[in-house]
């Protein structure tokens, strides 16, 4: 079985997870999904107050080597134990999630097109686009509701690291994408990808 790897990048709050999760809901266990965020580096020796202030939007914040190894394993037909990240702790949890090899593997994250080795693994590269004001508004609501943050902290983090790193690292990868889609709720883009994945799953190779 030859796996097709699909990379889904875009700024924070653009709707990457929304788009990815809609595809996962449509195909359930027929496809695998990997979130780059789960590969944020382990920070066990660093106190919580320090972890809170770190730059999580720089490529070095991720253990991309581990992701590369695990994607290679999946492509060779082996299952992997993916790490699980805990945003409220700013650290990896002790949990792992078993991911089995599938014909179609989605890999989602703000910076998945930055590392050339990772970028070159993708058969299809999708960039989810949304205006910066909409992204930050969504992020404030999501981070307060789901990631254990307060509004002041989200705003400070956005201005000090998230925004500058977005323009330095995320936005320059947009032209490297095969397809740029306008929001994760885009029905046309969803149907096009769904049809394509159906064909991939039905093909013999």
Ligand X SMILES: Nc1ccn([C@@H]2O[C@H](COP(=O)(O)O)[C@@H](O)[C@H]2O)c(=O)n1
Ligand Y SMILES: Nc1ncnc2c1ncn2[C@@H]1O[C@H](COP(=O)(O)OP(=O)(O)O)[C@@H](O)[C@H]1O
Q: Which of 19, 27, 39, 56 binds ligand X (CB under 6 A)?
A: 56
- 127 lines the binding site for ligand X (CB under 6 A): no
User: Which positions ≥6 away from 63 have C-beta within 8 Å?
Assistant: 39, 40, 41, 42
Could you tell which of ligand X, ligand Y, none binds residue 183, using a CB distance below 5 to 8 A set by kind?
ligand Y
Contact by Cβ (8 Å): 72, 3: no
75 vs 138, which CB is nearer to ligand Y?
Answer: 138
Q: In whole angstroms, how close is the CB of 146 to ligand Y at the nearest point? A: 7
- 37 lines the binding site for ligand X (CB under 6 A): yes
Q: Any idea what DSSP says for residue 62? A: B
With CA atoms as reference, report the closest residue to 135 among 38, 17, 28: 17
Could you tell which of ligand Y, ligand X, none binds residue 75, using a CB distance below 5 to 8 A set by kind?
none
Gap between the Cα atoms of 133 and 11, Å rounded:
11
Q: Burial, 88: exposed, middle or buried (Cβ in 10 Å; 0-12, 13-18, 19+)?
A: exposed
Gap between the Cα atoms of 170 and 139, Å rounded:
16
Q: In whole angstroms, how close is the CB of 186 to ligand Y at the nearest point? A: 8
- 162 lines the binding site for ligand X (CB under 6 A): yes
Could you tell which of ligand Y, ligand X, none binds residue 37, using a CB distance below 5 to 8 A set by kind?
ligand X
187-202 vs 16-27: helix axis angle to the nearest 10? Answer: 40
Helix or strand holding residue 95 (H, E)? strand 91-99
CA atoms within 13 A on the CB side of 59: 14
Give contact residues for ligand Y (rule: CB under 6 A): 10, 12-18, 138, 142, 183-185
21 vs 73, which CB is nearer to ligand X?
Answer: 21
40 vs 103, which CB is nearer to ligand X?
Answer: 40
Gap between the Cα atoms of 175 and 15, Å rounded:
18
- 87 lines the binding site for ligand X (CB under 6 A): yes
Could you tell which of ligand X, ligand Y, none binds residue 90, using a CB distance below 5 to 8 A set by kind?
ligand X
Per-residue binding string, ligand X, 90-119, x by CB under 6 A, is: x-------------------x---------
Six-digit token string for 31: 């496809």
- 57 lines the binding site for ligand X (CB under 6 A): yes
The footprint of ligand X (CB under 6 A) covers: 12-13, 16-17, 37, 40, 56-57, 87, 90, 110, 162
């Amino acid at each position: 079985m030859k796996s097709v790897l699909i990379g889904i990048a875009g700024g924070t709050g653009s709707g990457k997870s929304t788009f990815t999760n809609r595809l996962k809901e449509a195909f359930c266990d027929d496809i695998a999904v990997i979130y780059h965020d789960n590969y944020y580096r382990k920070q066990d020796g660093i106190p919580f107050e320090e972890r809170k202030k770190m730059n999580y939007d720089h490529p070095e914040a991720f253990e991309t080597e581990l992701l590369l190894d695990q994607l290679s394993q999946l492509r060779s037909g082996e299952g992997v134990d993916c790490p699980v990240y805990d945003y409220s702790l700013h650290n990896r949890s002790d949990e792992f999630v078993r991911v089995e090899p599938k014909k179609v593997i989605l890999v989602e994250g703000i910076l998945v097109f930055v590392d050339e080795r990772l970028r070159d693994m993708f058969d299809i590269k999708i960039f989810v686009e949304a205006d910066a004001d909409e992204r930050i508004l969504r992020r404030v609501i999501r981070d307060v509701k789901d990631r254990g943050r307060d509004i002041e902290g989200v705003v400070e983090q956005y201005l000090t690291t998230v925004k500058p790193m977005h323009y330095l690292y995320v936005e320059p990868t947009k032209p490297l994408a095969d397809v740029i889609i306008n929001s994760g709720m885009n029905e046309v883009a969803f149907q096009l990808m769904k049809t394509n994945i159906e064909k991939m799953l039905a093909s013999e190779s």
